[in-house]
Amino acid sequence: MNVVTNRASDSPTDNARHLMFDDLEKLGRILVETGDLAHGFVQGADDMDVTCRDFSAFDPSRPLSGQGSGTLDALRAAKEEILPLLAASIGPRYLGFVTGGTTPAALAGDWLASAIDQNATGPEGSVNAAVEEQVINWLCDLGGLPSDRFDGVLTTGATVSNLLGLVAGRQWCGERVGVNVDADGAGVLPDLEVFAATPHASMVKDLSITGIGRNSFTKVATLPGSEETDLDDLRAKLKASDARGKIVIASAGTVNATDFDDLTAIADLCAAYGAWLHVDAAFGLFVALDDRRAHFLAGIDRADSITSDGHKWLNVPYDCGIFLTRHISVLETCCRAFAPYLATKAEGNSYINRGVENSRRFRALPLWMAMKAYGRDGFAAIIRANCDQAADLGAWVRTHEKLELLSEPKLNVTMFTSLGDDDQNRALLEKINATGKLFMTPTIYNGRFGFRAAFSSWRTQDHDLVIIKQAIDSVL
């Protein structure tokens, strides 16, 4: 292809388009240099400071120039201006939140997804919908769920997946009493009651988005010293409720103590009182792959809907949420998109009718690549290793003269604190993170301020635990 650029007769906008065609001719070199840049960042993540604490070198108020300079120049600018200021969240010692580390196969799938740029709405003219269907079946297998009973959709994350659980649950509740929330609005079911003991922050946000209200759910007690739902209190509150619609939100791996509700008992209560059961298993679903802990999930197959994430323990790039349900027709009622241009006779699932977005990234491809590359055993190895690492850190804290465990690690999270007061511990966490050797997030557990270390990356190894312990000791 020979593209003539910078002709005297060209307008500025024509010149800008010529830059794009010039870049198309240079695409091979662009991809090589992009690969080199990405490779350097990925390989260097072990030795980088885990987080960047000074962004003053980057000026967000700088105006956009009218004249572009092409992709190669933009890559050089990104290397100089942005990459040095990023967190090494793909690395082995980023212990904040529940952050996976992007396996090579998932990275390759994500790059391919961008290159082929499918709008993954459904089966018309592309295999993308069939790939997503296969991925959802495989996810059910990894989570120990029967794929002949569960179906679902990939979302942007647990926040949207939890939102779908509320929306589908509300519709189901309405249909049971003869009203149609989808068609006529939430006002036709004003007496919907939501019960939750330890809802994740994303679920509380979704209560606001759906119009149910952040403060309008019925708080269920937890067992003493735990984040687990108190079954007696849930039973009493369900029995006392005269609401026509009821949704119970349960947890399979709470964000702090990684507690699991007794899902079998909660499913029995939901059946007895006509409630929709939504289980937030944002990362806990895949503990099914660890035979030492798979029993935590007993009863999850009786859930009406389940939330999980791929960008947590499955270590695929952001963003990748998972929503599964036994009532796919109810979900499709709530999420249908109508327009003449969307009509199709192609066979397959129309995922546009299962989620919030009409335009959808082909996020099934990174998952497909990772599952194809590593199989069940590969993901099981990540989960088992991360749980062992959390236990190892917990054992070290337990015998440390200046530290105290807040809760015994059950899964991949270790919560601990020092013997100082809350203000001293806040300052101590700042010092620990300032070492650049690791990153932990703060937490409050049983009224006490502490440090939360979540092991979620495939890259974390034994020598990283040595570095983590040494860094903590260095500031005590």
CATH top-level class of 106-370: alpha beta
Residue 12's pLDDT band (cuts 50, 70, 90): low
Question: What DSSP character marks residue 450?
Answer: E
Q: How far is it, in rounded angstroms, from Cα 405 to Cα 382? A: 24
Yes or no: say if 417 and 445 are a contact pair by the CB < 8 Å rule. Answer: no
Average pLDDT over residues 371-383: 98
Residues 101-127 have a mean pLDDT of 96
What are the domain boundaries of the chain? Answer: 12-88, 106-370
Span 423-433, pLDDT tens digits: 999 999 999 99
Mean pLDDT estimate for the chain: 95
Would you state the pLDDT for residue 15?
73
In terms of phi and psi (left: phi > 0; alpha: psi -120 to 50; beta: otherwise), the region of 205 is alpha
Indicate the pLDDT class of residue 72, thresholds 50, 70 and 90: very high
pLDDT > 90: what percent of the chain?
93
Q: What is the pLDDT of residues 404-423, one digit of tens each?
A: 999 999 999 999 999 999 99
Nearest-angstrom CA–CA distance, 333 and 180: 10
What are the tens digits of pLDDT across the range 321-358?
A: 999 999 999 999 999 998 888 888 899 999 999 999 99
C-alpha closest to that of 128 among 112, 142, 143, 139: 112
* pLDDT confidence of residue 191: 95
**Which tokens sit at 157?**
């994350």
User: What is the model's pLDDT at position 310?
Assistant: 97
Alpha helices in 210-322 (DSSP H): 231-240, 263-273
Mean pLDDT for 47-66 is 94
Identify residue 386 by its one-letter amino acid code.
N
pLDDT of residue 5: 44
pLDDT per position as a tens digit, 271-307: 999 999 999 999 999 999 999 999 999 999 999 999 9
- Helices 158-176 and 328-335: crossing angle in degrees, nearest 10, is 100
Label residues 360-381 b or e (16+ Cβ within 10 Å = b). Answer: bbbbbbbbbbbbeebeeebbbe
Q: Is the pLDDT of residue 6 over 50?
A: no
Residue among 449, 460, 386, 385 nearest 423 (CA) = 449
On the question of pLDDT at 474 being above 80, the answer is yes
Confidence band, pLDDT 50/70/90 cuts, at residue 312: very high
